[in-house]
Amino acid sequence: MPVPAPVLYPPFNIVRLSHVEFGVTDLAASRAFYVDTLGLQVTYEDDESLYMRAMEERGHHCIALRKADKPEARVLGFKLYDTPDLDKAAAFFAAKGLPVEWVERPFMGRTLRTCDNFGIPLEFYVQMDRLPPIHQQYKLYNGVKALRIDHFNMFTSDVDASVAFYNEIGFRTTEYTEDEDSQKLWAAWMHRKGGVHDVAFTNGLGPRLHHTAFWVPTPLNIIELLDLMATTGYVANIERGPGRHGISNAFFLYILDPDGHRIEIYCSDYQTVDPDLEPIKWDLKDPQRQTLWGAPAPRSWFEHGSLFAGVDPVASAMTAQPIIAP
């Protein structure tokens, strides 16, 4: 079996994925998309940036947008369990020969900036500004009524290598697709917080960000968003869905923000807290793994992704090797 055994006692304790920062070319257009259409709640904004949280989140933000010359994904953020985990994380990445830096980040405490084995920019923190609960202020619910950020999905040129790296820092694989012929992983879903995934990796020109997902309570939220987008000028931003994934069992919709950053709206996955939860294996030749109901994904879904700031996927692909051998 190509999926490595879970590491029960990882070198540091990641609680969950936490936030993403995007470079966007038109803050007003992004605000119309994320705030007026998706219904995310603004927690800070100025001429250069826009911070938002979803309805049940108490941390200051799950998505930060910054005005930029070109669209890009700047960093993927993760929350650590306790203060000592920061130093343990720094030691881990340094030992891998990966860059380690302590950075100042707005609304966040001490923050470690680094990257994974393929150069994907990561940041880790323990404390972020906490805000009062708004999940029972039903007057604020709007758009798709996203409750929380759910996961990141990344293109990688070597899924086995990516899975090995994240497995080592405690992510546990819940489902995966294997190419029966080559015995190589085609895609994998890995979690920390007890759902199907915090991060997923899919085979392709990497490293790039395939999508960022938000969790909603029912498929009807997704249908409402489709109706809203279809009648407010966003019909071309609807890329794929609605549908049910075989993998994860989630009901999904994929949409594109005004800069082409892909967002998934997602519900109905399952609880995965058992450390002995057996990963579910899917065959690359089984089309129902992608859409249980059989409809194929459009070509763009396999090809398009967001570049990570300062990371050149072509160069990476040409070497056909991870930047850092695991």
Instruction: List interacting residues with a copy of itself (CB under 8 A).
Output: 8, 15-16, 56, 58-59, 79, 81-82, 127, 130, 133, 135-139, 147-148, 193-194, 217-220, 223-224, 226-232, 235-236, 238, 242, 244, 246, 249, 251, 267-268, 270-271, 273-278, 280, 288, 292-295
Q: How far apart are CA 6 and CA 167, in angstroms?
A: 6
Tell me how far, at minimum, the Cβ of 69 lies from a copy of itself, in Å.
30
Which residue, 15 or 205, is less far from a copy of itself as judged by CB? 15
Omega before 207 within 30 of 0, i.e. cis: yes
Listed in sequence order, the DSSP H helices in the chain are: 27-31, 83-95, 159-168, 219-230, 299-303, 313-319
Which residue, 45 or 56, is less far from a copy of itself as judged by CB? 56
Tell me how far, at minimum, the Cβ of 207 lies from a copy of itself, in Å.
26
Tell me how far, at minimum, the Cβ of 26 lies from a copy of itself, in Å.
21
Closest CA to 3 of 276, 280, 299: 280
Which residue, 25 or 302, is less far from a copy of itself as judged by CB? 302
Our CA angle for 293, 296, 299, nearest 5°, is 160
Cβ burial 241-250 (10 Å sphere, 16+ → b, else e): bbbbbbbbeb
Tell me how far, at minimum, the Cβ of 311 lies from a copy of itself, in Å.
29
Tell me how far, at minimum, the Cβ of 305 lies from a copy of itself, in Å.
21
- DSSP helix, strand, coil percent of the chain (3-state; round to 5): 20, 35, 45
Q: How far apart are CA 233 and CA 237, in angstroms?
A: 9
Which residue, 94 or 230, is less far from a copy of itself as judged by CB? 230
Instruction: Give the contacts of 220 (CB within 8 A, at least 6 positions apart).
Output: none
Which residue, 48 or 283, is less far from a copy of itself as judged by CB? 283
Tell me how far, at minimum, the Cβ of 249 lies from a copy of itself, in Å.
6
Instruction: Give the contacts of 133 (CB within 8 A, at least 6 positions apart).
Output: 56, 58
Which residue, 280 or 317, is less far from a copy of itself as judged by CB? 280
